[in-house]
Chains A and B, each alone.
Chain A
Amino acid sequence: MRLVMKDSFVAMGVAILLFFIVIATFATVLAPYGPYEVMMTEAGRLDRLARPSFEHPLGTTAYGNDVLSQFIHGSRVALIVGLVAAVAVGFVSTVFGVVAGYFGGLVDDVLMRITDVALSIPTLPFAIVAVSLLGPSVQNIILVISILFWRNGARIIRSAVLTERERIYVKWARAAGASHFHVILHHILPNIVRVIFLWITMSVAFAILAEASLSFLGLGDPTVISWGQMLNTAFSSGSLRTAWWWVVPPCIALTLLVSSLYLIGRGFEEQTNPRLRRY
């Protein structure tokens, strides 16, 4: 971690990510109201589309919900979907990529044909159809995202393994009597972690964006608030153009979170690339 901090871009990325993690973890404490708690004006009417004020720093929605509270609770979905999907995607693509790349031959042929088939699935239409069929829930969204993103990762990791496999120290370790497991663990994986890590940070970003898009299209989990859903409600209520306080926060948050992941991924790549390493 100390190493990672040296790079100011990475530090920025980590800071942004930590910020959102804190918000998500303490959402119930930080949020002034419940996400769907209905606000009333003193006159006893629904407090619709109120501009930012002291009680409602980010104003209210068309249905009288506090935007700040929705925003804070929404970060949870983004992070959960992002992390869980990324771990699933990272795991599946690493297994596929390493097995195909390392063993080669028929195993590779078969696994790569499966990947090719998976790759030919069109992303958004598949996601929309699958989520509508399975039913809109956070679990199903994660499942669909994992199904969609492992395939590119498997290819990227496989090609990294293909180069590593040809390294002379790999051949040498085999000649010295090392098992395949030992070779993969000691020589292949350590040299491709940066590819895997880069891929995982990318897939966190993809997953967050995918969840937001699905929710925006109205396919989000109706029981949990998310940033995509906030945008969706703003859009369907027709206030997308007028209520900037409602629309801007989730947009900025999505952009910041996704860029923080890219920054971290890039920085990690540089830190661990032995050719760029500084002494």
Chain B
Amino acid sequence: MDKTPPSPTVIEARDLKTHFQARSSLIGALAGRQPRAIRALDGVDLAIRRNEIYGLVGESGSGKSTLGMSLVRMYEPTGGEVHYNGENITHVHGKALKDYRRAAQIIFQDPYSSLNPRLTIGQIIEEPLKIHRIGDAAERQRRVEKALELVRIPAEENLHRYPSDLSGGQRQRVAIARALVLEPQFIVADEPVSMLDVSIQASVLEILDDLSRDLGLAVLYISHDIATVGYICSHVAVMYLGQIVEEGTAEDILTAPQHPYTQRLMAAIPSIVPDENRERVELKGDVPSPLDIPPGCRFSSRCPYATELCTTVEPQLVPTAEAHRVRCHLYDAEAVATHPSLEPPTSQAA
């Protein structure tokens, strides 16, 4: 499409890993028992540029929220690095961490419990300014009103209302305003519209879209609803069991998916105009637990194309086209050459 030079990268994850410990009891800990690791996020590379909304989709429990929380340093990563404007902030603390928290914000799914019911809308949006000791009362008031204006909520009638007086869509917009008031450069939006009614989703998505364009924000948009990803994202990554299995432009991923998991995911989406011959590959079994990751390809236990190679050797994320990477042996020229039994599935829309 347009050939403007790419905008600078704002946030970058390099081989990022976040593991949790399955909770151990006090007795277990005293006895020196080693708790098992939940490998929720296991080696993710990703870069988001200015003005870009980057979509993140994938199975429930695949680690999407964990990635979002690790990027804003709500979780301390177990391994790998997070770079913000080229600076490694993976393990910064104290003042440097506080500065980063000013620049990176997060919006959560539930518009009903994301606002403190005892504070007014004005107090809620002002809070981050107070935390960071920005401006005097008048200056803060000005910024609060500006943030409300950005999310199209009339300030004068709403500043003194309580969250319980607002509709779900309005609350979610207040949550966005609270994230914007610090003038961040990077926002994680974790399923921001999935609890809103379809008839009002669009207004929230549109605001995210406008903001990334007008304010130059980098946004990570996490969602189960792949159709909404198509509306606002330029790039999309698909996660499965803690890893990215496919990544590319939104158009490529949504219309010509290559990884068997992504193909299945896209085929699962019902459409208003029913497509009689929509073919589905039935997946066997359930998602393996992140406590017990299968050897080889993580998808091999459910993949209809799995071969012996898949159950022993882990595939790498390899480029298949410009800006399109896939983690599957079928698309790895080297693997296909040495294992002639591999035969790429035809991607559905291509």
Q: Which residues of A contact B (CB under 8 A)?
A: 106, 109-110, 113, 167-169, 171-178, 182, 186-187, 190-191, 274
Contacts and interface: CB of A to CB of B under 8 A. Distances in A.
Interface in B89-133: 97-98, 101-102, 105-106, 108, 110, 113-118, 124, 127-128, 131-132
Contacts of B233: none
B164 interface: yes
Q: Range of interface residues on chain B? A: 20 to 34
Nearest to A174: B74
Contact of A177 (B69, B101, B178): B101
B72 A175 contact: yes
29 contacts: A110-B26, A167-B113, A168-B110, A168-B113, A168-B114, A169-B113, A169-B114, A171-B74, A172-B106, A172-B178, A175-B69, A175-B72, A175-B101, A175-B106, A176-B102, A176-B105, A176-B127, A176-B131, A177-B97, A177-B98, A177-B131, A177-B132, A178-B127, A182-B131, A186-B127, A187-B116, A191-B116, A191-B117, A274-B164
B236 interface: no
A123 to B, nearest CB: 27
Contacts of B132: 176-177
B303 interface: no
Contact of A178 (B113, B117, B131): B131
Contacts of B118: 190-191, 274
B182 interface: yes
B98 A168 contact: no
A101 to B, nearest CB: 16
A113 B27 CA distance: 12
Contacts of B106: 172, 175
A175 B113 CA distance: 16
B29 interface: yes
A113 B26 CA distance: 10
A206 B178 CA distance: 44
B329 to A, nearest CB: 38
Nearest to A170: B116
Contacts of A191: 116-118
Contact of B29 (A106, A177, A187): A106
